[in-house]
């Protein structure tokens, strides 16, 4: 991947207006953060992981929703009047190897866990510009940081201590080292499977490149995790845990098509969520087939020389957003990748920046962000606007 010249990116994409727009979005994010009140049950996304790792340590199924809630009540009784983790909207959907990692490293105290989670999120946020740009030029680093922190989902991810932040850091580092340090790249890619929906398109990208060594390391690392879980839990209980995890995934994905969950539905990037909001169509069952078929088609087009590396990478990520379970803060990866391939025309740059707008505040317009993703996919697919071919490390 070639060295990123942030200044050139901004010059090509109408620097003054883009800078003004990003500063306006940054001010909006700072205003949102200034009005944020920290409750004892926050960061919300780590409640499930915290309770899950305690259940795992006790030899119980971490995906048992009732047990998850009981662990929360027993260990954080002061938060009894605040929303508990688990169903209906906050099921534990992180994979078993993520629970195993939390079992190894998370403290038993919720207070320690929450500050550790926020520390990881903040550190990841600060390191992503370094890994993405690989430059010591402080002006370029500040501009890269601006592109990231002015995105509306970044402030939400920071407040939630969303694992998407360290996962994006791992993925960008894996892409950076994929040609020069393949073993390191593979280990980083393997760790990023903490959040499979973000890691899978990058795995497909490595597959398209026939870059097998990092893939072997990534799969090998996760195999070691499951082997260690097998030695601790036994095969039958491990299979039960995997089955329970898949069941929780299905229930969490289905909830966006049920009444009373308009907030969750309105923050999805899934195309089926927009079709449900607009036309009442339940097309979520098509997501997995469309994601797999679409990814394989993109890989075939790349192998035939009809797509550049950079086009393939962006299309795989966009396809994942459109046909798998993502909330809007997962879109942070998109501006980071778009920044990495800076030879963009105004239309691609501005379409990406339109995703910075707080669409969730306008329920009648919230589907627009999904159609922006679809339009970006179509424009890159049809190659109407060129992006660079050099993505070598």
264/145 Cα distance (integer angstroms) = 28
Q: What is the DSSP letter of 229?
A: H
Q: State residue 255's pLDDT score.
A: 76
Handedness of CA 194, 308, 374, 29 (dihedral sign): positive
* Res 10: pLDDT: 47
Would you call 362 helix, strand, or coil by DSSP?
coil
Where are the domains positioned within the chain? 6-83+92-381
Q: How far apart are CA 102 and CA 134, in angstroms?
A: 30
- pLDDT at position 251 is 84
What pLDDT does residue 392 have?
43
Looking at residue 216, what is its pLDDT? Answer: 96
- Angle between helix 110-133 and 152-160 (nearest 10): 150
Calculated CA dihedral for residues 213, 219, 221, 227, nearest 10 degrees: -140
Longest pairwise C-alpha distance within the chain: 60
In this prediction the pTM is 0.88
Question: For residue 211, how many other CB atoms are within 10 A of its CB?
Answer: 16
Nearest Cα neighbor of 168 from 197, 192, 201, 145 is: 192
**Is 90 in a helix, a strand, or coil?**
strand
**Cβ(204)–Cβ(317) under 8 Å?**
no
What pLDDT tens digit does each residue of the chain (393 aa) get?
A: 444 454 454 444 456 777 888 889 889 888 888 888 888 888 888 989 999 999 998 889 999 999 999 998 888 888 788 888 888 778 888 999 999 988 888 777 888 888 999 999 999 999 998 887 666 667 777 877 888 888 888 988 998 899 999 999 999 999 988 888 999 999 999 999 999 999 999 999 999 999 999 999 999 999 999 999 999 888 999 999 999 999 888 888 777 776 666 666 667 788 777 777 666 666 666 778 888 898 999 999 888 888 888 889 999 999 999 888 888 888 989 888 877 654 444 677 788 888 888 876 776 777 788 888 999 899 888 876 555 444 444
Return the SS3 of 356.
Answer: coil
Place of tokens 């082997």: 227
For residues 218-257, b (16+ Cβ closer than 10 Å) or e, as one string? beebbeebeeebeeebeeeebeebeebbeebbeebbebbb
In whole angstroms, what is the distance from residue 165 CA to residue 168 CA? 5
Question: How high is the pLDDT of residue 139?
Answer: 72
pLDDT for res 390: 42
């Amino acid at each position: 991947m070639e060295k990123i010249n942030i200044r050139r990116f901004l010059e090509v994409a109408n620097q003054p207006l883009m800078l003004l727009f990003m500063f306006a979005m940054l001010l909006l994010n700072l205003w949102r953060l200034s009005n944020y009140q920290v409750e004892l049950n926050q960061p919300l996304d780590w409640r499930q992981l915290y309770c899950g790792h305690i259940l795992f340590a006790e030899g119980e199924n971490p995906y048992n929703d009732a047990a998850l809630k009981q662990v929360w009540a027993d260990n954080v009784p002061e938060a009894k009047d605040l929303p508990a983790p688990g169903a209906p909207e906050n099921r534990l959907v992180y994979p078993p190897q993520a629970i195993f990692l939390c079992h190894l490293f998370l403290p038993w105290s919720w207070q320690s866990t929450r500050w550790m989670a926020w520390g990881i999120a903040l550190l990841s946020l600060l390191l992503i510009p370094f890994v993405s740009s690989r430059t010591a030029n402080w002006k370029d680093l500040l501009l890269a940081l601006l592109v990231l922190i002015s995105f509306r989902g970044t402030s939400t991810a920071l407040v939630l201590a969303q694992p998407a932040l360290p996962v994006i850091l791992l993925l960008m580092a894996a892409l950076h080292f994929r040609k020069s340090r393949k073993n390191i790249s593979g280990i980083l890619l393997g760790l990023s499977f903490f959040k499979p929906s973000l890691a899978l398109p990058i795995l497909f990208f490595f597959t398209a490149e026939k870059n097998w060594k990092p893939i072997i390391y990534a799969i090998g690392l996760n195999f070691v995790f499951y082997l260690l879980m097998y030695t601790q839990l036994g095969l039958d209980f491990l299979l039960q845990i995997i089955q329970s995890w898949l069941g929780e995934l299905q229930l969490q994905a289905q909830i966006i098509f049920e009444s009373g969950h308009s907030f969750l539905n309105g923050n999805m990037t899934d195309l089926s969520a927009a079709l449900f909001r607009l036309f009442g169509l339940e097309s979520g069952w098509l997501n997995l087939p469309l994601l797999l078929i679409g990814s394989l088609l993109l890989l075939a087009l790349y192998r035939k020389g009809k797509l550049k590396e950079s086009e393939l990478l962006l299309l795989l990520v966009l396809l994942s957003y459109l046909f798998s379970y993502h909330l809007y803060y997962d879109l942070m990866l998109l501006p980071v990748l778009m920044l990495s391939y800076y030879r963009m025309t105004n239309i691609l740059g501005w379409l990406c920046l339109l995703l910075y707008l707080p669409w969730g505040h306008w329920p009648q317009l919230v589907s627009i962000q999904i159609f922006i993703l679809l339009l970006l996919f179509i424009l890159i697919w049809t190659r109407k606007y060129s992006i660079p071919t050099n993505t070598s490390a």
